[in-house]
Amino acid sequence: MSRRRMRAVVALAGALTLTAGLAACGDGDEGGGGGGKTLNVLIGANTQYPQEFRAWQASISDKFKAQTGASVKFEEFATANDELTKIQTSVVSGTGPDVYAVGTTLTPTAYSTGAFVKLDDERWQKAGGRDRFVPATLGISGPDEQNQVGIPFVSRPFVMVYNTELLKAAGISKPATTWDELRQHAKQLTKGDQHGLAVAYKDNFDPWKFVWGMSVQAGNPLVDGRTARIQDPVVKQAYQTYFGWLTTDKVVDPAAIGWTNAQAIAAFAEGKTGYMALTSTTAAKALDGGKVKGKWSFALLPTVPPGATARPANGVEAASILSGDNLLVADYSKNQDLAFQFVKLITEQDAQLDYYKAVGSLPANAAALTSLQSDQKLVPVAQAAQKSVATPFTGAWADIQLAMTNVVVQSIPDLAKGSVGDAQLDGRLADAQKAAQSALDRAK
């Protein structure tokens, strides 16, 4: 008996030692002791310009050290999912990065965890004030002005890119401003092995952005309070337009049913496509590396819904989803003051321009964005940033965009056959509506 008890004691002691050891490791991570504190910042890795990104990190760290005496440690994540996992573990354990750079569509999800500092006037002042930002970029900082958590860092608005030579050859003087006009142009541009439009039907994110844009322009924001409005004629028309480019208008390369966004860009860069309908400034490098070098230009996405020549009264002039990164300060952070100083530093005009020069992400700082407009190529992008509209601010949004993308994913075999039947589309929209509504019902 006593032997057994001894065993138990030994086992328990072993367990305690191990746990204590692990806990000690955890404590070590937090660091920050001594004179100079360390601020931990989680930010998305930049695979396109890794060296420039590191150089920017080093220079901003130096500046921050000179200003505050504290150093900055950057931690990078590869994908939005990595970031979400990091947020989850940090939220549960109450330790982790002090500042997060979070993508706009992920901001409502991050907000719904309740683990980030809400910005009152005093905190906004510490961060440099609301006024320094492009007003549209504040659209997804929080559910309302009293409950904002996100401070805009960069904009990545979506735009179209078009082939200037092909459009000129087809006698088109300026890019389309309505979806119907875009279809018309694409038809004019399609001949032989040349296609009017490049669309990434197999992308995991592109499809919902099209449908959301067309729906909002037609007056349906998809989420109305706590009701999902996906089973709606306007949404159906958006899907039909999106599918129709391939099935009825035949202005898209049939191979596009297998394309992700990067593949669609690559196809456009071959120089045999008139428009590529959804991209951002980060594609510039890929475009300049292709046959379209010197022959492409950005343009605003159409802002008049399909089947109309003017926006209806309740339609919104949404040129792009509000896209980019917000900075969030963790409420478990013991360095909140430092965190806000850091946020202030990297959202200042000069720092934002430096960041743009390093990696090509557009400033959220209004003065910095204005100063960039001397570059003709960027004018439409800057406009898109100003005309960006936030997706609905609800923790359910991740599920909703997933459900909307799923409609396209499941329709691809039909697309390949040449038509997406009315009944099938209705069925898939009903599934999406159900998924979206159940996500909204669970929202707290």
Partner 1 sequence: MTDDSTATGRRRRGVSARQRPLWLLAPGGVLMTLIIVIPLLLALYISLIDLDQYTLRRWLDAPFIGLSNFTEAFGSGLPHSIWISVSFAVIATAATVPFGIAAAVATQNAYRGRALVRAVFLIPYVLPSFVVATVWRTMLQPDGIVNTVLAKAGVAGGLWLSGPKSYWTLVLVEIWAAWPFIYLMALAGLQSVDHEVYEASAIDGADWWPKLTRVVLPYLRGPVLLACLLATLNHINNFTLPYVLFGAPAPDDVNVMPMIVYVTSFQGLRFGLSAAMAIVSLLLVAIPLFAYLRALRLDVHEDGDRT
Q: Is residue 258 part of the contact set for partner 1 (CB under 8 A)?
A: yes
CB of 413 to partner 1, least distance (A): 3
Within residues 101-130, the interface with partner 1 by CB under 8 A covers 109, 112-115
Q: How are strands ordered across the β-sheet holding 195-198?
A: 195-198, 273-279, 159-163, 296-299
Residue closer to partner 1, measured from CB, 113 or 336: 113
Considering only 319, 416, 433, 440, the residue that binds partner 1 (CB under 8 A) is: 416
H helices of 248-325, in order, are 261-269, 284-288
> Per-residue x/- marks for partner 1, 1-40, CB under 8 A?
--x--xx--xx--xx--xx---------------------
Q: What SS3 state is found at 163?
A: strand
Considering only 85, 125, 227, 314, the residue that binds partner 1 (CB under 8 A) is: 85
Residue closer to partner 1, measured from CB, 286 or 398: 398
Within residues 183-242, the interface with partner 1 by CB under 8 A covers 202, 204
For 80-117, give the secondary structure using H, E and C. HHHHHHHHHHHHHHCCCCCEEEEEHHHHHHHHHCCCEC
b/e string for 289-308 if b means 16 or more Cβ within 10 A?
ebebeebbbbbbbbbbbbee
Do residues 369 and 382 touch, judged by C-beta distance below 8 A? yes
CB proximity list for 81: less than 8 A, separation 6 or greater:
none
Q: Is residue 427 part of the contact set for partner 1 (CB under 8 A)?
A: no
Burial of 120 (0-12, 13-18, 19+ CB in 10 A): exposed
- Residue span binding partner 1 (CB under 8 A) among the ranges 123-131, 188-196, 289-297, 435-443: 435-443
Residue closer to partner 1, measured from CB, 377 or 442: 442
* CA atoms of 379 and 381, how far apart (whole Å): 5
How far is CA 297 from each of CA 164, 227, 265, 381, rounded to the nearest angstrom?
Answer: 7, 39, 13, 10
The neighbouring-strand residues paired with 296 are 163
Q: Is residue 421 part of the contact set for partner 1 (CB under 8 A)?
A: no
> Per-residue x/- marks for partner 1, 43-82, CB under 8 A?
--------------------------------------x-
Contact positions vs partner 1 (CB under 8 A): 3, 6-7, 10-11, 14-15, 18-19, 81, 84-85, 88, 91-92, 109, 112-115, 202, 204, 253-255, 257-258, 260, 395, 398-399, 402, 405-406, 409-410, 412-413, 416, 439, 442-444
